[in-house]
Amino acid sequence: MSDFIHDFWSHYVAIATLASILACLLLLWITARAKTPASEDNTTGHVWDEDLREMNNPMPRWWMGLFVLTIVFGLGYLFVFPGLGSYKGRLEWSTDGEYTKDLAKANRELEPVYAAYTALPVEKVATDPGAMAIGERLFLNNCAQCHGSDARGGKGFPNLTDNDWLHGGSPEKIKESITRGRIGVMPPMAEAVGTPEDVKNLANYVLSLSGSPHDSVRAGLGKSKFTVCASCHGIGGVGNTAVGAPNLSDRIWLHGYGLDAIIQMINTGKTNQMPAQQGRLTEAQIHVLTGYVWGLSNAKTPGAGAP
């Protein structure tokens, strides 16, 4: 309830809520006091279905009592729990807090399960079927939405099962990627390269690095322009994990394959982000996940990742 764009709305909601509760009370009070003129036999004079008459009896006391009790309960509830605009309630209860508490409890309960794995180096975790089963579930719940349930990624999301790494495939680097997240920044480079013709020539040169189909005359003309790219992508475009610049000399494309995709990359650049898992997942969970991800491209154990 703290997402109001302006305090006014918080007050508006709070006042509207209280006013309608008090209006209920007022309604009860008015109707209890109002006297309907009744005839001798205590009927109001309304008759239905020939002989069904409305009596003029007061509302039963127990019913009025219940009505008042509901109102008292409602006010008490609003005092203790959130419900009045952005007022948090005496107990400061929130679904968020409840979730965090449950999560902390679950993590405490799971500690002994993980303890066996945190003591192992990542390479050993990757060969432990129990750890890999946990790793797979963690991956499906936390990573699959971006990297795919088979971890093979998609456009913009790196494949974690091949041995092609943006930021490095050692256990330490993988753990760092997961823990702290990564931001890959490819700046727009068109200006540094020159005219659109220059960009097209350079893109053909980039294609030639991986032996992909290209126009070799243009590639020859574009070659010298690659110096501005080599600072990040390395000489020959072999990539540089220190800045997360992909290898351009393999045939693995993160952002699409072909002349147009490369020209667009040079023209517009790209910022890509892997969200940090620190704080979302425990250290032990990240350790097991590191083993799982490392295992996808390294472990030879059957069932523990792709060969």
Q: Would you tell me which residues interact with ligand HEC (CB under 6 A)?
A: 142-143, 145-147, 156-158, 160, 165-167, 174, 177-178, 182, 184-187, 189, 193, 202, 206, 228-229, 231-233, 243-246, 248, 253-255, 262, 265-266, 270, 272-275, 277, 289, 293
**Closest distance of CB 212 from ligand HEC, Å:** 11
Closer residue to ligand HEC, CB minimum distance, 10 or 277: 277
Minimum CB separation of residue 142 from ligand HEC in Å reads 4
Q: What are phi and psi of 132, to 5 degrees?
A: -70, -35
- Residue 207 CB, nearest approach to ligand HEC (Å): 9
Q: What 3-state DSSP class applies to 155?
A: coil
Question: 52: helix, coil or strand?
Answer: strand
Shortest CB 256 distance to ligand HEC, Å: 6
| 167 or 200: CB nearest ligand HEC | 167
Rank residues 10 and 282 by Cβ distance to ligand HEC and give the closer one.
282
In terms of CB distance, is 134 or 265 closer to ligand HEC?
A: 265
Nearer to ligand HEC, 10 or 136 (CB): 136
Asked whether the beta carbons of 122 and 291 are under 8 A apart, the reply is: yes
Nearer to ligand HEC, 70 or 145 (CB): 145
**Cβ-contact 255, 155 below 8 angstroms:** yes
CB-based contact 276:181 (threshold 8 Å): yes
The token duo for 302 is: 């059957």
> Under DSSP, is residue 83 helix (H, G, I), strand (E, B) or coil?
coil
In the complex, minimum distance from the CB of residue 306 to ligand HEC, in angstroms, rounded to a whole number: 15
Q: How far apart are CA 209 and CA 223, in angstroms?
A: 10
Q: Please identify, using beta-carbon distances, which residue of 158 and 295 lies nearer to ligand HEC.
A: 158
- Shortest approach of ligand HEC to residue 132 CB, angstroms? 13
**Cα 248 off chain centre by:** 30
Residue 47 sits at φ, ψ, to 5 deg, of: -130, 130
Output the smallest distance, CB 216 to ligand HEC, in A.
17
Closest chain position to ligand HEC (CB):
184
Q: What share of the chain is helix, strand, coil (3-state, %, to 5)?
A: 55, 10, 35
- CA–CA dist 42, 53 (Å, integer): 10
Distance, in Å, from the CA atom of 283 to the CA atom of 278, rounded to the nearest integer, reads 8
